[in-house]
Chains A and B, each alone.
Chain A
C-alpha cells in the first residue's frame, strides 16, 4: 500500500515569492492534515480536512497561507508571499476517519527554505 506522498521534497525560494506543496493521502483516508515543523520543534497543526471540508484551520495564517482539497482526495498548501520565517518542513498526514486515536500516517515532508 502506498503511503502519503508529498511533492516537492525540497524547495528554495526568495522571500515574497509564492510556493505550493502537494499531498496525496493514503487511498481511502478521508481525513487529511497539514503540519508545519520548525527546526528543533515538534510539528504543529495548520489545517485538518474531513473529506473536502476544512474542519480545523484555526492555526493557519490566513493572510498568506491557503489550502484546498478538491474532491476530497489530493490537497494543496500555498504560501503567498513567502517570508523568511516560513522556512520549515511541511508535513502532510492522513488517517482513516477522524475517530480520536486512529493512527495518523505522515508523508516525508516538503522542506522549504526561504532566502
Chain B
C-alpha cells in the first residue's frame, strides 16, 4: 500500500522569508501524481500544486514550487516570500495512476511570524 510521510508536525517562518515543507512517499508504482493541499482553519482543502510523476520538471505556481526527487521518493514544497495568509496546515497527498484514491500524509502546521 502507498504511504505518505510528513515527519515535521510544525514549522515557523518569518514573513517574506522562504520555507520548505518535507514529504516522502512509498510506492512500487511508476505512474502516479503528487499534490500539496492547504487547509486553513475553515477546514476546506485547497489545492496548492500538483506534480505528475512522469514529468521531470518541477511544478511551479507563483510563490509555490516543488522539489520532486523521484528516485528518493521525496516531494518537498517551497514557499517563497511567505505571507501571513500562508499560515495553515499543509498536506502532501498521493494518487496512483491506477485509481483516483487520494492518500494524505498527517500534515504540517505552518505559522508565519509578522
Q: Is the CB of B44 within 8 A of A107?
A: yes
Number of cross-chain contacts by CB at 8 Å = 65
Q: Is the CB of B50 within 8 A of A99?
A: no
Of A11-19, A60-68, A77-85, A88-96, the stretch lying at the interface with chain B is A88-96
Closest to A106 in B: B45
Q: Given A91-B43, A101-B33, verify A45-B102 contact (CB < 8 Å).
A: yes
In Å, the complex CA distance between A25 and B5 comes to 29
Closest to B99 in A: A100
Interface size for A (C-beta < 8 A) is 28
In Å, the complex CA distance between A104 and B99 comes to 13
Q: Is the CB of B100 within 8 A of A93?
A: no
Asked if B98 is at the interface of the complex by the 8 Å CB criterion, the answer is yes
Closest 8 CB pairs of A and B: A42-B104, A106-B45, A101-B33, A109-B43, A108-B44, A98-B100, A100-B97, A100-B100
